[in-house]
Amino acid sequence: MIPLDEVRSDGWFERLATGSSAFTQLCQIVGDRFVAFSIVAGLRITALQVDGRNPERSAIEFSVGDDGASQRMTLGDFRRRLSNALITEEDIPMELGATPSNDDLQAYLGVRNVLLAPILGIELDTLHRSRDGVYLSARVDDIDMQLTVDELRETVRERIRAEAEKYRTPTPFALDLSILPEVERAASEGKHQRVISMLGSWPGPLSVILRTPEGAQIPEESRTQIVAALGMLGSAYAGLDRADWAEDVLRLGIQWGGEGSSGGDLFRRLGDAYVANERTGEAIGLFRRALALGGDPAVVLPRLARAFAARQRHLAAMVCAEDALGHGASEAQVVSVREESLGALGQSWVRFQEFMAGE
């Protein structure tokens, strides 16, 4: 067990504010946590022009470091960009030495995370090593918790996002496409609830804007990102056994994507949702559509084979399984389908192969 009393940075922000009325006023307008965020990010706020009717439209000037060029933007954009910058991955060591110094511990936890923890209601207590890895004892909002280092980093990022959401002006079509790399990471790690928390508010406004002039004017690159986001959201719902939600979201994605290159992936995802909802007959048509729109045969054909097998269409299942192997699918992807279908077909499969060879 390693105590973190000398590592954590409790009170650093409060000490900066001591005796400065201008600093206090800046915190009241910008938000004390965003002032702290700017310091951690190395920004120096130099001027603030307040719009009393719409505070988000207030103009803020800042520079990066002491010698950086001055930049000016609205307060709303400043908060959004600053929060996005802070949730990016920090360059930190992957391992901790046997006898780490305080500097080593700060680097391992992430200097940014150590500075932001007390601002965000996280009190670091001790670090523990075990055969299963390294974990932290901490108090989060006065609740004792044990966190891995990755969970600490994710908790910090979650709270930065939550702080940004407090100031976000609600608009029907405000979709922040800059969050998609983070969504992709969550999706690749199977964090379905995380994907839903980030994208769950998108389908409503996207349904409204779909057939409006504003929707028609959305650039193709942004449209492609929207389609990808809806695909990930639909699969996240399916991963949590919320098949009806998954189908609605994926159908919306298909409407946005049309016959574009992303259609194959969306129809494949929708087919997966139908299979999860025990609608394998309908899934067959969706998997076929996915193939027609350019879906990867090595990914789609094993799914189509399993759907055929579930409908007792074993000849079609075997043909798809063999075709999947020919397109690079692994044996593990089709082994259960082949065993089941071969058991059902027996010599009929041998005769079919002989017939096809003769043709």
Question: Per-residue pLDDT tens for 289-339?
Answer: 889 888 899 999 999 999 999 999 999 999 999 999 999 999 999 999 999
Reported for 254-258, long-range contacts at CB under 8 A and 24+ positions apart, including other chains, are 255/210, 256/206, 256/210, 256/223, 256/226, 256/227, 256/230, 257/223, 257/224, 257/227
Contacts with 63 (C-beta within 8 Å, 6 or more apart), sequence order: 43, 44, 46, 69, 70, 71
Residue with tokens 């969970």: 151
User: What is the total residue count of the chain?
Assistant: 359
**SS3 for 210?**
coil
Residue 44: closest CA among 76, 70, 77: 70
State the pLDDT confidence band at 193, using cuts at 50, 70 and 90: confident
Contacts with 30 (C-beta within 8 Å, 6 or more apart), sequence order: 38, 45, 48, 60, 75, 78, 79
Contacts with 327 (C-beta within 8 Å, 6 or more apart), sequence order: 297, 298, 301
pLDDT, averaged across the chain: 84
Helix/strand/coil (H, E, C) string of 13-81?
HHHHHCCCHHHHHHHHHHCHHHHHHHHHCCEEEEEEECCCCCHHHCEEEEEECCCCCCEEEEHHHHHHH
pLDDT of residue 15: 84
Q: Where in the chain is the domain with CATH 1.25.40.10?
A: 179-358
**CA–CA gap between residue 322 and residue 319 (Å, rounded):** 5
Question: What are 7-54's pLDDT values in tens digits?
Answer: 888 889 888 877 677 787 788 788 888 999 999 988 989 888 887 666
pLDDT of residue 170: 46
Mean pLDDT value across residues 193-218: 80
pLDDT of residue 172: 44
311 token code pair: 């409908």
**CA–CA gap between residue 134 and residue 333 (Å, rounded):** 35
Mean pLDDT value across residues 276-297: 87
Question: What are 106-143's pLDDT values in tens digits?
Answer: 888 888 999 999 988 899 999 988 877 888 898 887 78
Q: Which residues pair with 134 in a beta bridge?
A: 129
CB atoms < 10 A from the CB of 283, how many? 27
Instruction: Report the CATH architecture of 179-358.
Output: Alpha Horseshoe (1.25)
